[in-house]
Chain A
Amino acid sequence: MAETVGEDGTARKDHGVLYIGMDLGTSRTSIACSNGVRETVASVVGYPKDVVARKLLKKDLLVGQEAFDNRPALDFYRPLAHGVIKGSDGKGDAEDAKRNLQAARDLVRTAIGLAKPRKDELLYCVIGAPAQASIHNQRAIIEAAREIVDSVMLCSEPFSVAYGLDRLTDVLVVDIGAGTTDLCRMRGTMPAAEDQLTNTFAGDHIDQTLLEQIKAKCPDGQVTPNMVRQWKERWASVRDTIEPIRVQIPVRGAPTEVDITDAMRTACRTLVGPIVDGLQELISTFDPEFQDRLKNNVLIGGGGSQIDGLSDVVEREMRRRLGTGRVTSVEEPIYAGANGALKIAHDMPAEYWEKVR
């Protein structure tokens, strides 16, 4: 069990190989590793605002729930938005973009640290990154990971989901994240640009719509995006009939019960139309002889796939618009991307890993 040390004093990586699969998402970052570790953290990063906060928190960096819980004392970052690192398009404030980039790096580093790797094992990591991530984004992700791992590769998120489930041909993967919904057509080869579509009707859009709906129903109620997100995570549903959802909302300081059942259903259903639009586009541009296969092989993954009844309602809408459709949700929405990335890492030949070190 003891690790061996090389002539230069560093641990020799001769004990084994640890594969890490990571799904770097707008809302959550998950890892699955070949040592059995599976972890997920909220994709948020915080740095103590001042010396007092640093002394109190005894840390220079907080990630995930810990950052959420201490956010009044922190410079708080949610570094990914709409599937990419905020500000990386060069449109916003340069200083803000720089900070978000650094926060994304710290998020990647922390996520890899959660794998609890041994010092004497080779670390090979595949990161499922947003398909539309820019070179700057990908560079930041790769550089952050390379500080810890021996070799790292990126691949598109929906592809890793499909690979993990061995669904490589004639399947349509819908990956519903917080910032974007990615649709990917798998046809046995690496998906090309025309095989992938992205829209922003995703988790954040539901939150925004739900917030607006609640504000319209209860104009004096004090509701924060975080409260709305928690309600969504607990009760999201698109079903025609659902149990009444009643929440407590402070109105002029007094907790007031508000029924948000219809608001929740309406907000969640805003995803259905754009998903079926995307599916229709990817199906209609496919070989007509194989279109039915695609229609009957739709796989929904990502955090959004936890919306109760979503696969049924998408299937119903597909039947209405496309004549037929069969939709299934992945078994483990939080880890499907990371599991797939882990499988890719495992299957990747040794010489490829060596060449990208």
Chain B
Amino acid sequence: MILGLANSLFRLFREHSDVVSVDKLKKDGVRSVTVLDWSRIDQLIAKAVDEALKKRGVELPADALQSVNQQAREAFARLLEQRDLWRDSAQTLEQQKNELEANLNRLVVELDTARSQLTREKSHRVTVADVAVGRAQMDSFALRLKDGLVELFKGSSADASPELARAAAELAEHLLADEKARALAAAKQEQDARIDLLERRIAKLNGMLASSDQLVERLKAAKSLDPGIESEFREVQGLNTADANAGAKRGLLEQIFKLNVELREAIGKDSPPAGGSAAAPR
């Protein structure tokens, strides 16, 4: 069991340690590093348990102490894993947030394009110039004209030609007007369909934008839920009375405190500093 835990601790340290190059350490001014092997960590956990028990005046039999030590080691391993899980999930959240923000930007661009298309469509009045007449429509129109003319000339004599010509022109004009009206109605219908499509697209994009916005906000909030790293201390510490220099240090700390009190009084009398607002300098 102990060996298994040791291996597990060793694996955790190896897998979850941050790798820092020697160059980086040198650049940061580190000249030597303290190396802790796992057995030393194991000893430290045991020592911490021992000291905590002593501090609380608890004396345990050897087997119970061993069991507490074992539990402390396991708790330590769990904490290591938890910390790493937090780091991983924070990274994932950050990545998701970045992707969403990029998506949000795309949506905004798309929405802008759709809105300007809609404005253009709505302000444009469909005219004959917009009507594109296709081959089939032309054929149909020619056929109807031909049928009309055949009907008109049926049983006609040659001297009736001036009336016939006028009647033919009227027929052609009527048929053409009819055709124009049909084509315009079709074009208007197409424009209405485009407007309807754009309006639905804009509504959908607005919906997507709002939900993406909410997601980004939720991710930001989730990120702020990062609990942080726990301090070593549960309560205010103060000077260790066993410290060899406790007397001198107490005096120095008192002086630091007094200087800070005086500083606050001086600040109170002093006028507010320039740049007092929290806004970034512009």
A residues adjacent to B (C-beta < 8 A): 1, 3, 15-19, 33-37, 40, 47, 58, 60-61, 75, 77, 94, 97-103, 105-106, 115-119, 121-122, 124, 135-136, 138-140, 142-143, 147, 153-155, 163, 166, 168-169, 188-190, 233, 303, 306, 331-335, 344, 346-350, 352-353, 355-356
> CB within 8 A of A101: which of B227, B236, B273?
B273
- For the complex, give the distance between the alpha carbons of A17 and B230 in Å: 9
CB contact list, B255-282 vs A, under 8 A = 255-257, 259-261, 263-264, 266-267, 270, 273-282
Assembly CA distance A112 to B90 (angstroms): 19
| 8 Å CB contact of A356 from B232, B257, B274 | B257
Contact in complex: A98, B275 (CB < 8 Å): yes
Query: Please, how many angstroms separate the alpha-carbon atoms of A106 and B279 in the complex?
Result: 10
Q: Which 9 A-B pairs have the closest CB atoms?
A: A99-B281, A334-B29, A98-B275, A190-B255, A350-B236, A118-B228, A18-B231, A101-B275, A35-B229
A168 to B281, CA, bound (A): 41
Using known A-B contacts A190-B259, A306-B29, A347-B249, determine if residue A16 contacts B281 with beta carbons closer than 8 Å.
no
Contacting residues, chain B, for A166 (C-beta < 8 A): 245
**Could you jot down 18 A-B contacts, CB within 8 Å?**
A3-B227, A17-B235, A18-B233, A19-B231, A36-B229, A97-B275, A100-B281, A101-B275, A102-B277, A116-B226, A135-B266, A163-B249, A168-B249, A189-B255, A332-B29, A349-B238, A352-B253, A353-B236
Contact B267 A135 (CB under 8 A): yes
Q: Contact between A98 and B281 (Cβ–Cβ < 8 Å)?
A: yes
Chain B residues at the A interface, C-beta cutoff of 8 Å: 27-32, 98, 101, 226-240, 245, 248-249, 251-257, 259-261, 263-264, 266-267, 270, 273-282
Q: A40, A97, A121, A333 — which one has the most chain B CB atoms within 10 A of its CB?
A: A121
Interface majority SS (helix, strand, loop, mixed), chain A: mixed
The chain B residue with its CB closest to the CB of A61 is: B280
Which chain B residues lie closer than 8 Å to A47 at the CB level? 280-282
Contact B245 A334 (CB under 8 A): no
Cα distance A143–B249 in the bound complex, in angstroms: 27
* A332/B237 contact (C-beta < 8 A), A3-B227, A35-B232 known: no
Contact A98 B256 (CB under 8 A): no
* Alpha-carbon distance A335/B238, docked complex (angstroms): 22
> B231's contact among A61, A118, A168, A169, by CB below 8 Å, is which?
A118
Q: Which residue of B lies closest to A329 (CB)?
A: B31
Shortest beta-carbon distance, B95 to chain A, in Å? 13
A347 to B226 CA separation, bound complex (whole angstroms):
29
